A = this chain, B = another copy of it.
Amino acid sequence: MVEQHRNTVSIRRIREACRTCSLNDLCLPVALDAPDVDALDRIVQRRRPLARGEVLFNTGDRFDAIYAVRTGALKSMTIKEDGEEQITTFHLPGELLGLDAISFREHPSTASALDTSSLCEIPFAELEDLAERIPGLNRQLLRIMSKEIFNDQEMLHAMARRSAEERLAILLLSLSHRFARRGLSATRFRLPMARHELSNYLGLAPETMSRLFRRFVENGWISVSGKELSLEDVDALRALTGSPSAIMQKDIGSEKHH
């Protein structure tokens, strides 16, 4: 009974902590105990919000924390010597930034806000210490990173030898899925990034992106008004990707317990 009660409390506390800081990935679905969540919660720091365009960290900056997006959105990019930027990831609410910096202790990319964004900062040294004491947290960290690897490879797969149309469809569905995961609408959302950022990410010219949007609208697959996007025919988009269900459908925690 006590055990039962304790469990319930634990779960409620976890959800609460997750809500306050978009830490879903980090807390769920592992069975972190209430005290564990407290401990985790204690090292997490709220930061002042970032304004649109503001930089969170620069390439080469020392790595000492990972970040969780609470609201808004960010992009990670590398800068080629010729000054061109290449966007490598978009970070939506509930997602983590900085995982690629752990091994070199230095950020290999620059992260900036696409929009006014609030974040939580998780000092990595403390997280590591905590992970040593909480096996569940440790495992969850590994899982998150594994998922990141999986996603990147999925994206790589998605880019290679695919037409511009296919790429855009894949990206739109990925965004849809990631918003839905946060409890937002899967079919109507506001694109946090500019067209040229979409095109940059997908390795296309901005002009191509513009033509693609027109074609998608003409085909009745989407409707657009500025940055407001509505997916009108998800099936058509899925058909384009060639993978009715595979892309980005899986979630951490969706696997069965054993």
Residues of A within 8 A of B (CB): 76, 78, 80-82, 86, 88-89, 99-106, 108-109, 128, 131-132, 135, 138-139, 141-150, 152-157, 159-162, 200-204, 242-244, 246, 250, 252, 254-255, 258
Contacts and interface: CB of A to CB of B under 8 A. Distances in A.
Q: Which 4 A-B pairs have the closest CB atoms?
A: A160-B203, A102-B146, A152-B152, A161-B203
Among A138, A161, A203, A252, chain B packs the most CB atoms within 10 A around the CB of: A161
Given A101-B146, A139-B128, A143-B102, A88 B203 contact: no
22 contacts: A81-B242, A86-B157, A86-B160, A88-B156, A88-B157, A100-B146, A100-B153, A101-B146, A101-B150, A102-B143, A103-B144, A104-B250, A106-B255, A108-B150, A128-B139, A132-B132, A141-B142, A145-B145, A145-B149, A159-B160, A161-B200, A162-B203
Count of this chain's copies in the oligomeric assembly = 2
Contacts of A203: 159-162
Given A104-B255, A142-B142, 17 more contacts: A82-B242, A86-B160, A101-B150, A102-B146, A103-B144, A105-B255, A108-B153, A109-B153, A128-B138, A128-B139, A145-B145, A155-B156, A156-B156, A156-B159, A159-B203, A160-B200, A161-B203
A253 to B, nearest CB: 9
A246 B60 CA distance: 12
A108 B254 CA distance: 14
Contacts of A86: 157, 160-161
Given A131-B138, A149-B148, A80 B243 contact: yes
Contacts of A141: 142
Contacts of A204: 161
A154 B109 CA distance: 10
A222 to B, nearest CB: 23
Nearest to A204: B161
